[in-house]
């Protein structure tokens, strides 16, 4: 499950102009049906990259059929994921932005 899925899907769909990110790499058009993790969403990766794994930096809007035919397209390897995770840990305000999270605000009466 990807937190804030709809907001991320809307943002990435607009960024990719409604076209599957994998199909674009082949100069083709395919409508977007889902979000794909470029660095695989495994238990180990969720533990290693908690801020990065479900961020828009790691998600790509794809067409399911294109994703099944070219599952590794756009893959982010461990070193890049680690560098991005470290950056997000050092800059929590940016982590909030790329994860489409709304910070908690306490209201004082």
Q: Which tens digit of pLDDT belongs to each residue from 64-84?
A: 999 999 988 889 999 999 999
Q: Quick one: how far is CA 44 from the chain centroid?
A: 17
Task: Look up the domain containing 35 and give its range.
Answer: 5-98
- What is the structure's pLDDT at 71? 81
Judge whether 15 lies within some domain.
yes
End-to-end CA distance of the chain: 36
Judge whether 32 lies within some domain.
yes
The reported pTM is 0.88
Is pLDDT above 70 for 28?
yes
Judge whether 104 lies within some domain.
no
Judge whether 109 lies within some domain.
no
Judge whether 25 lies within some domain.
yes
- What is the structure's pLDDT at 107? 58
Domain count for the chain: 1
Number of H helices, E strands in the chain: 6, 2
Round to whole Å and give the CA distance between 88 and 52: 7
């Amino acid at each position: 499950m990807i937190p804030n899925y709809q907001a991320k899907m809307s943002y990435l769909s607009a960024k990719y102009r409604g076209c599957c990110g994998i199909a674009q790499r082949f100069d083709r058009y395919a409508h977007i049906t889902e979000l794909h993790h470029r660095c695989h969403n495994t238990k180990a990766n969720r533990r290693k990259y908690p801020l990065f794994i479900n961020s828009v930096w790691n998600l790509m809007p794809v067409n399911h059929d294109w994703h099944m035919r070219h599952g590794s397209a756009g893959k982010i390897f461990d070193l890049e994921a680690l560098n991005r995770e470290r950056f997000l840990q050092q800059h929590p305000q940016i982590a909030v932005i790329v994860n489409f999270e709304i910070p908690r605000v306490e209201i004082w009466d």
